[in-house]
Amino acid sequence: MSDYIIEMNHITKRFPGIVANDDVSIQVKKGEIYALLGENGAGKSTLMSMLFGMYEPDEGEIIIRGEKVKIESPNHATRLNIGMVHQHFKLVSNYTIAENIVMGMEPVKKGFGLFKTLDQKRANEEIRALSEKFGLEVDPTKVIENINVSMQQRVEILKMLYREAEILIFDEPTAVLTPQEIAFLLEIIESLRRDGKTIILITHKLEEIKKIADRCAILCRGKLIDVLDVKETDTKTMANLMVGREVNFSVDKPASEYGREVLKVEHLTVQNEDKFEVVKDVSFSVRGGEIFAVAGVSGNGQVELADAVAGLLKPSSGTITLNGKDITHASIRSRNLEGISYIPEDRQNVGLVMDLSLSDNLALKNYFKPPFSKGPVIAGDAFTGYSDGLIEKYDIRSGQGSETIVRSMSGGNQQKAIIAREIELDSSLLIFVQPTRGLDIGAIENIHRQIVEQRNKGKAVLLISLELDEVMNLADTIGVIYNGRIEKIADAKTLTPGEVGEFMMGVGGRHEKA
């Protein structure tokens, strides 16, 4: 019998076209805080989803408390005293905290001595006691929709504790929190550990690992790179291990010839739908012939930044200037006409109208202009002719050519269609957000080539990507965004991937100051 509470041995998990986990083995001791570190898509969440019974591994075995188990469902995982706090909380927003927590295993009493009813009072007391024990500061009678994200997260933690979880998995718990809330959460995690709980922390923030974790497993592209003792390792080494890998394909790029300034963003602040400041006082400019890449970990405000420039989000302060013209308050349509092309992150819900035909989608931004229409009347054949041309030029593959309903096309071809449409607008500024997410190598190379082509033509390119490789390969200038602020802007040639990675994790420039 080993002294490990969890052993995952030689786990392999494949999804269509991708190996999410490739022969990964980790062992976690009882009572330790074990961190899983890796970039987006490194396979951390997949690995933990298997431990929580959401997927089954294709190969390998899972051993819990010395016993080999096949975890079939999250319910099964709960019975094995495993709990997980997901990135997206699973709460009923119009129920109280206590109701959410006890749901599925409610304390009951007999109403009028006959009917089983929820014993609200007992539920509240139990939750309050549990909350006090771990210092969670949760009032069980409050309703979910009236409490903030940090409190909701603590409700999720209580949900696990109420189910007597011994092994607690946190999936990127700090991604949605403010620094103060993060500090509070880390305290809570410490107190859970003191109570003998075993904690697995999925994260890509080095600071947090350094603060509380005992050991740290580093995953990269589905493979386990190393398991480190956190006390004996500095953050820089961890960052290097996490991102410092060989660049597998580089793009031919002639030396940059910058033209005039196309986009100028000054002191831009943007709030998201929850009135939370996600972009804070950001200033930068992009010139013609320049690829300005914004590097950053997911959820640090880069998507909102792009949306604000494209006009989908209204900035709360600051100015946006395009070709010398203030467009801060211009409509989306007028920005498009002024010269902005936008390849959005969510290609299926934002970039395309899935139930319309390919030809309609390719004309989505110029259907109102000649030759597509004359006044209010559309010329259908112009759509088809234009669409046929683009299908040929950009090699968009679809079942029935121009008439194909976009929904039935593959993700790669959908993206090709968006890029074709946006490039053909011949805008002076092109915004690419995550242009290659989820695509295969061939499609990625093709898109990279087109981005560079646009730059060589003298267009300004604003590239937002979570893939550090992509940023390093394509960028002329890199701006690193962390927590809504651009922490560093520098010529791409002067930065190493490791340095960019440190800025991405908010620990950049530490050694300079020291």
Partner 1 sequence: MKKHDLIPFLTVLLSLILGIVVIALLGKNPFQAYYNLLQGSGLAPKASYAGHKGMITDFTSFLNALTPMLLASLSVLIALKAGLFNIGVSGQMLAAAFVATVLVGYSELPAVVAKPLVVLIGAAVGALVGGLVGYLRHRFNINEVVSTIMCNYIVQFVASFFINVFFVDPVSRQSKNIGAASRLTLVDTVVGDYKMDIPLGILVAAAAVAATVFLLGKTTLGFEIKAVGSSSRAAEYAGIRVGRTRVLAMMLSGGAAGLAGVTYYLGYFCSMQPRVLASTGYDAIAVALLGNSSPIGIIFSSFLITVISKGSTYMSSTAGVQAEMASALTGIILLISACGAYVRERLDRWKENR
Q: Which is nearer to partner 1, 206 or 362 (CB)?
A: 362
- Contacts of 453-457 with CB under 8 Å at 24 or more apart are 454/423, 454/430, 455/253, 455/256, 455/289, 455/290, 455/291, 456/254, 456/289
Binding mask 304-343 for partner 1 (x = CB under 8 A): ------x-x------------------xxx-xx-----x-
The rounded distance, in Å, linking the Cα atoms of 57 and 78 is 18
Query: Which listed residue (17, 113, 324, 376) binds partner 1 by CB under 8 A?
Result: 376
R_g over Cα of the chain: 25
State in angstroms the smallest separation of the CB of 336 from partner 1: 5
Going by C-alpha positions, the residue among 149, 157, 155 that lies closest to residue 201 is 157
Query: Which listed residue (18, 177, 188, 356) binds partner 1 by CB under 8 A?
Result: 356
Calculate helix-pair angle for 179-194, 149-162, nearest 10 degrees.
10
Query: Which listed residue (18, 69, 108, 350) binds partner 1 by CB under 8 A?
Result: 350
State in angstroms the smallest separation of the CB of 385 from partner 1: 16
Exposure class string for 400-419: b at 16+ Cβ within 10 A, else e: ebbebbbeebeebbbbbbbb
Q: Does 407 sit near partner 1 (CB under 8 A)?
A: yes
The rounded distance, in Å, linking the Cα atoms of 205 and 363 is 42
Three-class DSSP category at 238: helix
Q: Does 15 sit near partner 1 (CB under 8 A)?
A: no
The rounded distance, in Å, linking the Cα atoms of 497 and 383 is 44
Token representation of residue 247: 């660049």
Query: Which listed residue (85, 102, 305, 352) binds partner 1 by CB under 8 A?
Result: 352
State in angstroms the smallest separation of the CB of 470 from partner 1: 23
Token representation of residue 233: 């390792």
The rounded distance, in Å, linking the Cα atoms of 466 and 298 is 6
State in angstroms the smallest separation of the CB of 379 from partner 1: 8
State in angstroms the smallest separation of the CB of 222 from partner 1: 25
Q: Does 377 sit near partner 1 (CB under 8 A)?
A: yes
Q: Which is nearer to partner 1, 15 or 249 (CB)?
A: 15
Query: Which listed residue (74, 86, 367, 498) binds partner 1 by CB under 8 A?
Result: 367
Binding mask 197-216 for partner 1 (x = CB under 8 A): --------------------
Three-class DSSP category at 318: strand
- Are 268 and 306 contacting, i.e. CB atoms less than 8 angstroms apart? no
Query: Which listed residue (19, 69, 188, 378) binds partner 1 by CB under 8 A?
Result: 378
State in angstroms the smallest separation of the CB of 461 from partner 1: 19
Going by C-alpha positions, the residue among 18, 86, 23, 12 that lies closest to residue 50 is 12
**Candidates 111-119, 137-145, 167-175, 358-366; binding stretch for partner 1 (CB under 8 A):** 358-366
State in angstroms the smallest separation of the CB of 320 from partner 1: 16
The rounded distance, in Å, linking the Cα atoms of 465 and 504 is 12
Backbone angles phi, psi at 505, to 5 degrees: -100, 10
State in angstroms the smallest separation of the CB of 237 from partner 1: 42
> Site residues (CB under 8 A) for partner 1?
310, 312, 331-333, 335-336, 342, 344, 346, 349-356, 360, 364-365, 367-368, 373, 376-378, 380, 407-408
